[in-house]
Structure formats: structure tokens, C-alpha cells
Amino acid sequence: MQRSLHAVWALALTACFSGRFLAGQPCASDPDCGTELQCIDGACGGLPAAQTSGSSGAAPPTTSSATAPVTSSESATSDTPTSTSTGAASATTGETSSGTSSSEGTGGSSSAGSSSTGETCGVGRCRDIDMLVIYDDSASMSKKVQTAITAMLAFQIEVLPLVQDACSVHFGVVTTDQKYPYNPPECQQIGALATVNNNGEACVFAEGGPYATQPDLMDFEALSCALDIGADGEGDERPIDALFAAVTSKQLNSGCNAGFYRPGAFLFVVLVSDEDDDDNDAQGHSGSSMGGANLWGPLFQATKPTGVADMYLLALLGDEDPDTTMCPWMPLEGSDGLGAEPSPNLRTFAGSFPDDHHEIGTLCLPPDVDAFKPLAQKVKAEMLAACEA
């Protein structure tokens, strides 16, 4: 059950970029079907009305095994090749072989960039975007898959168009483990990008690097592989250590994560965890080693030359008030606890960002896309403002 549930999580997150995950699902109106489908006779299917004429030859969605809805009893693994590549990204449109944008990156520039075809690109002054997901893959997260799915579908509708307008995008996922056991041995270290899913299938990205780029954003197999990391990770979650390592480790950024992080790009961090990053928590774990939570924000923001101006943080955490939450935290239940912790340390970290450069959402909501749309709309508006678009 746990394996198939996280396959559903991977498929739904892929829908944030490629859409059509909801084909065949019941609906009341077109918005229930995301951005690429419409509601027809109570079920999602076809192309939206805006795409049914004048399209550029896009084929209508089908309900084949690659796009059909997956239930918790179904397997959703893909036929991804079993070889992996963790080297630097190869030279492609708008990027050098080291993975650094051929433009000067964000860096405070107010002009839009250009692609190799001469087309204007960028979200305002933000030409290049690095998207980093820090995901808690411990056992307690298996109960929150459906909520995470609906949250990501809401962000598909609101935020995806901004990402597609960038000159280049780097998209990667790291877990909160001290070492993610499915990666190649040399990349089983905290902060290393996940390049193998939890079924042992290597993720192959279009540009040959250890992260997805724009050609992969519409590739079902590539993104579903990167996001299918399971819920059998270590109970000692270290999201802050993972975040710092992914951004600051010279060893990782010249090896396992080669080319992913670009100092001049706009950094969008998504932190998903149902448990705090604690020093000696109720389960006896030590958590991250970065010192007090009040130091995390200033230290992290200092890692980028332009500081917090070119950073945005979205955190999906447990509710702050344990007396009103729908998923009260019971740390000693099960193998890794049940519910979601208020996470005061991670809230302190998120709150160190300016109000218009971060949002904190809850993992304790029913699986309803509409419930997450207000948060997604806030993130969209704040990103536009941050990029002066």
C-alpha cells in the first residue's frame, strides 16, 4: 500500500507540470480538471475549450496506462531506463555545459532574457529559476499523500505559467534523509538530488544531468521518477541540513548535483514535512546540525549573492495550533508518529523571510483542490512582485 500511494503522489506532482492526471475522474466543472482537461458529462476528459481549436497539433489526452488515474491498489511505476547519469548538464538552449545559465541570471537585472531562438523569456527580471523540493520521506508522511496531491494540483493551475515563461528551469528533489538509500552509493549523502526512484529505477533527464530542466517539465516519466521517493526514509528528518547541503556543498555541486544550483538564478524552495526539525525530539532524534532555528534563516539567505531578494520559500507543515488541527501530532504512535507536528523551528525558519517572500500552508486539510487555491494565488502574486513582473 505504501509503495502505490507514493506512486500516486509522484503522478499527481507530475500533473503540476504536464497536466492530464485527472483524466476520467469525476467533476462538477472545468476547474476540477486542472488546466489541460474539461468536465464532460461529469468526468474529466478532452481538451479545455480554449484548446479545442487553433491548437498547435497537440493530441487529445487519453486514458492509457501512462495517463489514467491510479488508485491506491495500483502500481504507477514507469519503464524508466535503469542507467543513471549524475554528471553536469550538457549544453542546450540557454545553458552552458556546467549547468550555469548563459545569461547573467537574476542578479538584480530588470531586463528580460532571450532564448537561443531569439524569443524573449523570463518572469520579469527573473530569467532563470532553480526549483528545489525538500521532501520528508519518513513513514508518517504516507498518510498525507492525498492532501499533498491536491495542494500540488492547485499550484499547477496558478503557478505553472510563471515557471514556463522562464529562460531556463532547474528542478530537483532532495529528501530529509542523512542518505537516500536508492541513489548510487557515491550520492547517498544528505542534500544529494534524488536520481533513482524508490523502485530502483534510474531517472533520465533530457539534458543528461541529475535534475530536470524545461524539456522534462512535460515529460511524464522523468518527473514521476524524480518525485517517486517513497515513505520509507529515516525517522530522523534533517530538512535544514538537506537544504543547506544542496545549495552550499561544493562537493555536491561539482559532483552528484553538478550544475543544479546557480547563484544568479531565482531560487524557489518548497519544503514539505509533517514533523519539525528538532534537537532531541520526542522520538529521540537529533535533527539538523545547523545550530539554533533563529540562525537558519539569516545563514541561508546569506548564501545567495543577492540575498533574500532572489529567494522564495513555500512550506507545507503541520498546523500551528495543536488544539484545532485535523491531524494532531502523536509522536509515539506507529513507527514514525501519526498526524503532523506544529513545527515551531521550521516556522521560525520560514518566518525569517520577508512576508512577501514566503508562505506557510497546512498539511492538515481534506483533499480538496479549492482549499489550496487561495494559498497558490498568494504565492503567484508574491512571485510576480519579487520578480518585478
Residues 350 and 220 in one domain: yes
Domain boundary among 51, 72, 90: 51
The pLDDT-based confidence of 110 (bands split at 50, 70, 90) is very low
Considering the domain boundaries, does residue 150 fall inside one? Answer: yes
**Predicted local distance difference test score (pLDDT) of residue 82:** 37
**Predicted local distance difference test score (pLDDT) of residue 22:** 55
Residues 46 and 182 in one domain: no
Across the range 41-63, mean pLDDT stands at 48
Which tops the pLDDT comparison, 188 or 151? 188
Residues 178 and 30 in one domain: no
Residues 127 and 12 in one domain: no
Residues 285 and 381 in one domain: yes
221's grid cell: 516519466
Across the range 157-161, mean pLDDT stands at 79
**Predicted local distance difference test score (pLDDT) of residue 146:** 76
| pLDDT higher than threshold 80 for residue 71 | no
Considering the domain boundaries, does residue 67 fall inside one? Answer: no
Considering the domain boundaries, does residue 78 fall inside one? Answer: no
Residues 16 and 121 in one domain: no
Residues 213 and 299 in one domain: yes
**Predicted local distance difference test score (pLDDT) of residue 102:** 38
Domain boundary among 31, 51, 71: 51
- Give the whole-angstrom CA distance, residue 328 versus residue 184: 37
Asked if residues 320 and 357 have their Cβ atoms less than 8 Å apart, the reply is no
Asked if residues 339 and 318 have their Cβ atoms less than 8 Å apart, the reply is yes
Considering the domain boundaries, does residue 231 fall inside one? Answer: yes
Asked if residues 272 and 135 have their Cβ atoms less than 8 Å apart, the reply is yes
Of 184-188, 199-203, 226-230, 377-381, the one with minimum mean pLDDT is: 226-230
| pLDDT higher than threshold 70 for residue 46 | no
Report the chain's mean pLDDT, rounded to a whole number: 77
| pLDDT higher than threshold 80 for residue 279 | no
Write out pLDDT tens, residues 92-108.
333 433 334 333 444 43
Among 16-30, 162-176, 278-292, name the most confident range.
162-176
Across the range 227-244, mean pLDDT stands at 88
Considering the domain boundaries, does residue 79 fall inside one? Answer: no
116's grid cell: 537561443
Residues 47 and 123 in one domain: no
Considering the domain boundaries, does residue 81 fall inside one? Answer: no
- Give the whole-angstrom CA distance, residue 290 versus residue 176: 14
| pLDDT higher than threshold 80 for residue 47 | no
Across the range 215-227, mean pLDDT stands at 81
**Predicted local distance difference test score (pLDDT) of residue 344:** 93
Asked if residues 86 and 187 have their Cβ atoms less than 8 Å apart, the reply is yes
- Give the whole-angstrom CA distance, residue 188 versus residue 195: 10
Residues 145 and 241 in one domain: yes
| pLDDT higher than threshold 90 for residue 260 | yes
Domain boundary among 35, 51, 67: 51
Q: How many other C-beta atoms can be found within 10 angstroms of the C-beta atom of residue 369?
A: 21
Element (H, E) at 131: strand 128-135
| pLDDT higher than threshold 60 for residue 55 | no
Residues 250 and 365 in one domain: yes
Considering the domain boundaries, does residue 230 fall inside one? Answer: yes
**Predicted local distance difference test score (pLDDT) of residue 108:** 39
Provide the number of structural domains found in the chain.
Answer: 2
- Give the whole-angstrom CA distance, residue 362 versus residue 371: 10
Among 53-67, 149-163, 292-306, name the most confident range.
292-306
For residue 54, give every residue at least 6 positions away whose Cβ sits within 8 Å of its Cβ, in sequence order, or none: none
Residues 162 and 300 in one domain: yes
The pLDDT-based confidence of 140 (bands split at 50, 70, 90) is confident
The pLDDT-based confidence of 66 (bands split at 50, 70, 90) is very low
Of 71-80, 170-179, 358-367, the one with minimum mean pLDDT is: 71-80
**Could you list the residue range(s) of the whole structural domain that residue 44 is in?**
2-51
Considering the domain boundaries, does residue 351 fall inside one? Answer: yes
CATH number of the CATH domain containing 353: 3.40.50.410
- Give the whole-angstrom CA distance, residue 307 versus residue 338: 37
**Predicted local distance difference test score (pLDDT) of residue 335:** 74
**Predicted local distance difference test score (pLDDT) of residue 1:** 41
Residues 367 and 284 in one domain: yes
| pLDDT higher than threshold 60 for residue 126 | yes
**Predicted local distance difference test score (pLDDT) of residue 13:** 53
**Predicted local distance difference test score (pLDDT) of residue 329:** 87
